[in-house]
C-alpha cells in the first residue's frame, strides 16, 4: 500500500499517482488546467494527443508531451523517475487579432535617374501620416484600414524632383516609384546631398 492507502505512489514526485485512464479528453484537459503539477497514469490512446478545454472567450490547447515507458501503460507499479511537461498555448479569437491589426502596410522603393533615392518623403494625402525612404530607397508606411473606405493616395517628394501622387489599395503589390527632374526648376540651382555625393541640378544650357 502507499502512504495514502489509495493507489501507487511516485517516488520521484513524492505524491500519489492519479489514474486518468477513465477520463474523457475534456475532463482530462480541465483537470490538468486546474493543477499543472500532477503525476498521472494514462492509456496509450491518451499519449501525444491535443486536448481542447473551453474557458470564457479563449481556448487553451493543451499538448501533453510525455516521456513514458510501458510502466504507465500496464498494471499499476511504483512510478519511476520520468519527465512530464505540460505545454499550454493561448489561442485568441480571430476578431481580437483583427482589432490589433487595424492597419495596412504599404511598401516599395523610390528611385531617380541615378538609382535608389534615400531621404525621399512619402506621405498619405490629406493626412499627417508620413515616412521617409531609407538609404536604399525603400519605405514602409502604415495606413489605417478604415481609410480604405475611401480612395487612398500617397505623395512622393524630393527636393529638385517632380512630385508624384499614387493611389494605393488594401491588396497593394510593391510600389516602384521613379521621380524625374522638375522642369519648373530650370534656371535655378539646387544642391542635393545623396549618399555623400553632391549633385548640382540647374540650367545646363544657360
- What pLDDT score does 111 carry? 96
Domain endpoint, select from 35, 70, 93 = 93
**pTM for the whole thing?**
0.45
Instruction: Assess if residue 36 is contained within a domain.
Output: yes
Hey, what's the cell of 31? 483537470
25 and 48 together in one domain: yes
DSSP string, 45-111: GGTT-EEEEEETTEEEEEEEEE---GGGTSS--PBPP--EEEEEEEE--HHHHHHH--EEEEEEEEE
| pLDDT confidence tier of residue 206, bands split at 50, 70 and 90 | very low
Report the share of the chain in percent with pLDDT over 70.
54
What are the pLDDT digits (tens) for 91-127? 444 444 444 579 999 999 999 999 999 999 999 999 9
53 and 19 together in one domain: yes
- What pLDDT score does 205 carry? 45
89 and 147 together in one domain: no
Count other Cβ atoms within 10 Å, centred on residue 180: 10
Hey, what's the cell of 96? 481580437
66 and 109 together in one domain: no
- Tell me the β-bridge partners of 132: 121
Instruction: Assess if residue 206 is contained within a domain.
Output: no
Domain containing residue 156: CATH number = 2.60.40.1120
Instruction: Assess if residue 4 is contained within a domain.
Output: no
Determine contact, residues 93/63, Cβ cutoff 8 Å: no
Domain, as residue range, for 154: 102-201
59 and 126 together in one domain: no
Determine contact, residues 31/23, Cβ cutoff 8 Å: yes
Q: Report the domain count for the chain.
A: 2
Q: Is 171 helix (H, G, I), strand (E, B) or coil?
A: coil
Determine contact, residues 49/25, Cβ cutoff 8 Å: yes
Q: Is 203 helix (H, G, I), strand (E, B) or coil?
A: coil
Domain endpoint, select from 93, 114, 137 = 93
76 and 32 together in one domain: yes
Determine contact, residues 117/192, Cβ cutoff 8 Å: no
Q: HSE (CB half, 13 Å, CA atoms) of 138?
A: 5
What are the pLDDT digits (tens) for 6-41? 556 677 776 677 777 777 777 777 777 777 667 777
88 and 112 together in one domain: no
Separation CA 54–CA 60 (nearest Å): 7
124 and 86 together in one domain: no
- What pLDDT score does 55 carry? 53
Amino acid at each position: 500500500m502507499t502512504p495514502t492507502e489509495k493507489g501507487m505512489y511516485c517516488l520521484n514526485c513524492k505524491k500519489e499517482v492519479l489514474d486518468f485512464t477513465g477520463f474523457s479528453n475534456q475532463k482530462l484537459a480541465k483537470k490538468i488546467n486546474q493543477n499543472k503539477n500532477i503525476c498521472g497514469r494514462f492509456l496509450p490512446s491518451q499519449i501525444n494527443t491535443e486536448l481542447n478545454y473551453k474557458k470564457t472567450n479563449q481556448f487553451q490547447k493543451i499538448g501533453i508531451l510525455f516521456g513514458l515507458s510501458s510502466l504507465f501503460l500496464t498494471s499499476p507499479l511504483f512510478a519511476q523517475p520520468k519527465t512530464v511537461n505540460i505545454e499550454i498555448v493561448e489561442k485568441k479569437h480571430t476578431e481580437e487579432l483583427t482589432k490589433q491589426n487595424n492597419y495596412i502596410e504599404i511598401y516599395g522603393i523610390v528611385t531617380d535617374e541615378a538609382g535608389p533615392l534615400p531621404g525621399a518623403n512619402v506621405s498619405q494625402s490629406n493626412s499627417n501620416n508620413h515616412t521617409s525612404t531609407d538609404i536604399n530607397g525603400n519605405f514602409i508606411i502604415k495606413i489605417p484600414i478604415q481609410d480604405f473606405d475611401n480612395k487612398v493616395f500617397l505623395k512622393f517628394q524630393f527636393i529638385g524632383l517632380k512630385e508624384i501622387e499614387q493611389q494605393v489599395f488594401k491588396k497593394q503589390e510593391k510600389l516602384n516609384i521613379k521621380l524625374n527632374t522638375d522642369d519648373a526648376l530650370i534656371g535655378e540651382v539646387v544642391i542635393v546631398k545623396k549618399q555623400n555625393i553632391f549633385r548640382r541640378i540647374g540650367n545646363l544650357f544657360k
